[in-house]
Amino acid sequence: AQTVTQSQPEMSVQEAETVTLSCTYDTSESDYYLFWYKQPPSRQMILVIRQEAYKQQNATENRFSVNFQKAAKSFSLKISDSQLGDAAMYFCAYRASSGTYKYIFGTGTRLKVLA
Amino acid sequence: EAGVVQSPRYKIIEKKQPVAFWCNPISGHNTLYWYRQNLGQGPELLIRYENEEAVDDSQLPKDRFSAERLKGVDSTLKIQPAELGDSAVYLCASNSGTSAYNEQFFGPGTRLTVL
């Protein structure tokens, strides 16, 4: 069975600095998708960035980028120039490209941004 | 465009009482998901619909939980009777197909407290 592990329950970063959130996963599939979702306090979960496993190039979205290491089954999120609005829970998620289309979420990392 | 709508936002009930949650997905989205998010955890899938068909309900505790999506649009999730352990946030999400590239859009959730 697929699993997603986020080993950092909480992280802090100074405003304007860079922070990296870690995620590892386990799967026997060769083709899949990985996601980072952001859940601000009492607000809706939104997609931050996604990565297709067959693509070697790391995905980037403005200040957000990933370091995808397929062999190591690692998928970390880097937030550059952190802003107060980045404070939220961040969830790493996995979905196989075929089969049940079930999303597997990690337990989340709470990011605090210090002014 | 309106997002995923859920109601109520908050619900407090006594154990053994019934409770129902409603979700209206984004117009045109044929795939609808119900998740349960326990405190400090990531979302866990309860049931996934493709149009009006429940295609994955393996994680739905069928002795007390039921769901329906009549006409393949809005959906209702019911718990009867509720137990203390059912206290959680119930999230609804939708997307426009089975492709993982199609982003899941989440609703704000219903926070259930069972006393």
Taking only the tens place, the pLDDT of each residue in B31-72 is 999 999 998 899 999 999 999 999 889 889 999 999 999 888
Residue B100 predicted with pLDDT over 60 = no
8 A C-beta contact, residue A46 and residue A37: yes
Chain B touched by A64 (CB under 8 Å): no
Q: Inspect the interface and report whether the beta carbons of A102 and B48 lie closer than 8 Å.
A: yes
Mean pLDDT of A59-86: 96
Is pLDDT at A42 greater than 90 in this prediction?
A: no
d(CA B23, CA B6): 5
CA-based radius of gyration for chain B = 13
Task: Assign B80 a pLDDT band (cuts: 50, 70, 90).
Answer: very high
Q: CA-CA distances (angstroms) from residue B63 to B34, B67, B81?
A: 17, 12, 9
The rounded distance, in Å, linking the Cα atoms of A20 and A90 is 11
The burial class, CB within 10 Å (0-12 / 13-18 / 19+), for B21 is: buried
Whether residue A19 has pLDDT greater than 80: yes
Cβ distance B42 to A108 less than 8 Å, yes or no, reads: yes
| Mean pLDDT of chain B, nearest integer | 92
Q: Is the pLDDT of residue B92 over 70?
A: yes
* pLDDT greater than 70 at residue B103: yes
Inter-chain Cβ pairs, chain A and chain B, closer than 8 A: 50
The pLDDT of residue B112 is above 70: yes
Closest chain A residue to the Cα of B47, Cα to Cα: A102
Segment B107-114 mean pLDDT: 96
